[in-house]
A and B are shown apart, each in its own frame.
Chain A
Amino acid sequence: MRYACLVYFDPQKVFSQSAEAEAALRDTGPYNAELRASGQLVTEGALELPQQAMTVQVRDGKMSATDGPFMETKEVLGGFLVVEARDLNEALRLGAGIPLARLGFVEVRPLVDFSKPRPQL
């Protein structure tokens, strides 16, 4: 199964140049390389900060765009990995290995399996 590991962190902490932050940033490349070598990394990407982002939406056929998103929280979505894992616990273990999990947190979420029925809400 595939899982997205969504990496959230506080940019103030990650780019503070503290020894801890520098170590986490330095370890990120090798960790991704390990996952790729073991066949568990489907894709990954690091995101620019939300200051560089725009949000679009369409209502009544009209597009509008705003800056951001700017959330109230300090943590922003900073990157993602899509991993192939046997089950949720294995995906959690892979998510826990992401070096930035030491500074922020990683949300591990299964990718939708379209052969299953849609959620009933």
Chain B
Amino acid sequence: MSDDDPRAALDAIYRGEAGRVRATLIRCLGSFDAAEEALHDAFVAAAKQWPEQGVPINPYAWLVSTGRFSTISRWRRQARLARALPELAPELEVDVELERPDLIQDDELRLIFTCCHPTLTPDARVALTLREVAGLTTEEIARAYLTPTPTIAQRIVRAKAKIRDERIPYEVPSAADLSARLESVLQVVYLIFNEGYASGEGPNLTRDDLCREAIRLGQSIVRLLGEPEALGLLALMILHDARSAARIDADGELVLLERQDRSLWDRTRIREAEQLIERALSARRVGPYLLQAAIAAVHVEAPSFAETDWAQIVGLYDVLRRLDPSPVIALNRAVALGMRDGAKAGLAAIEPLIEQGGLEGYYLAHAARADLERRLGLGAAARRSYERALELSRQPVERRFLEARLAELRLGLAPKP
């Protein structure tokens, strides 16, 4: 089949336009499946006509009209067969106003909010968003999540059935619901990012793809909706990403912030994130993502780990803890406290979190405790904590890191207090 070549040539346009075209077609045609069919028809027509006639000035409008027209003709043909045309006729007359950018933006937002609807399970939201909004194939999502393709396909089928059966409206939430619904959207984006970032499998292309997709999604949301939390999440992801070259060494081993070569950080991206944070702060509404981004920004501004403005970091964690009183935030604050006021103060803050705060099963809590004990010269206690952390950690890169620290301690290489 020689049909593959024009399809490949259209790939760039597909990636750029498919999401927006799909978003509008779902509204015009009333279902994900009808929109997918129309989208396919539109791109087939484009593959035939564009090489001869040139790319239209507005590819989006051309693709929407072509897809919609093709579906309507199909429905007419089917209706003729079933002799049901009169009933269908009113539905076909829905007008599409293709020249209004605000409506197009609303369509994109409708699609994002529908795919991240709280009625769907988090797994389903992630799969649906990656496929319908980011334009990944089911197979690409499955590879990135190291999951069998039919499992992902089933999640997508069920999610769409739920949207249809429960009549989840295809709309942008009202102002009253917006911040709660946005939280669900941002959570999906951050889940996608973290899956790519914290995969623990070292450099792995498909995993990097997830980080890139999450950032692209974050950028779309910011373009459509300049909410401070959306800006904060985008800045947070960009800051993590800007440090990624320093995070894994040549042997694929994890390098903690403390030991990272700061000259490897991408300063252009850091400036981009800082501008996003400034823009978000001007709205004077601070949420958890923006605070985490601000904390990450304090880290990257420091010329070295020791010269980090720990007082400011502790202060930001204090605010964050009021918004999100989770023990993990308290743990991060305790680590920062250990840097500001000394290892002893840090240890005093961490111990109750492990013993009563619900972090006994969290490997990072034991790893953080071990590090403080090590710095205080408490070799035996540090060994016990590293061993406990090792029991709880599943990720190979992190396990190797913990094993290396444990070996250092056994050899008596721990720093003296």
Contacts and interface: CB of A to CB of B under 8 A. Distances in A.
Contacts of A40: 40
Given A38-B44, A39-B44, A86 B1 contact: no
B277 to A, nearest CB: 37
A89 B157 contact: yes
B41 interface: yes
A90 interface: yes
A53 interface: no
Residue among A30, A89, A90, A110 with the highest chain B CB neighbour number at 10 A: A89
Interface residues of A, number: 17
Interface in A27-64: 27, 30, 34, 38-40, 42
A1 interface: yes
Interface in A1-48: 1, 27, 30, 34, 38-40, 42
Contact of A89 (B1, B81, B153): B153
B36 A90 contact: yes
B40 A90 contact: yes
Interface of B is mostly: helix
Interface stretch (B131-139, B254-262, B347-355): B131-139
Given A30-B81, A34-B74, A93 B33 contact: yes
Interface in B150-191: 150, 152-153, 156-157
Interface of A: 1, 27, 30, 34, 38-40, 42, 84, 86-90, 92-93, 110
Given A30-B81, A39-B3, A89 B74 contact: no
Instruction: Determine the interface band of chain B, counting residues with CB < 8 A from chain A.
Output: 20 to 34
Interface of B: 1, 3, 33, 36-37, 40-41, 44, 74, 77, 81, 131, 137-140, 149-150, 152-153, 156-157
Nearest to A30: B81
Nearest to A86: B137
28 contacts: A30-B77, A34-B74, A38-B40, A38-B44, A39-B3, A39-B44, A40-B40, A84-B3, A86-B40, A86-B137, A87-B131, A87-B138, A87-B140, A88-B137, A88-B138, A88-B149, A88-B152, A88-B153, A89-B131, A89-B153, A89-B156, A89-B157, A90-B40, A92-B153, A92-B157, A93-B33, A93-B36, A110-B149
A47 B150 CA distance: 27
Nearest to A87: B137
Contacts of A1: 139
A27 B131 CA distance: 30
A87 B139 contact: yes
A84 B1 CA distance: 10
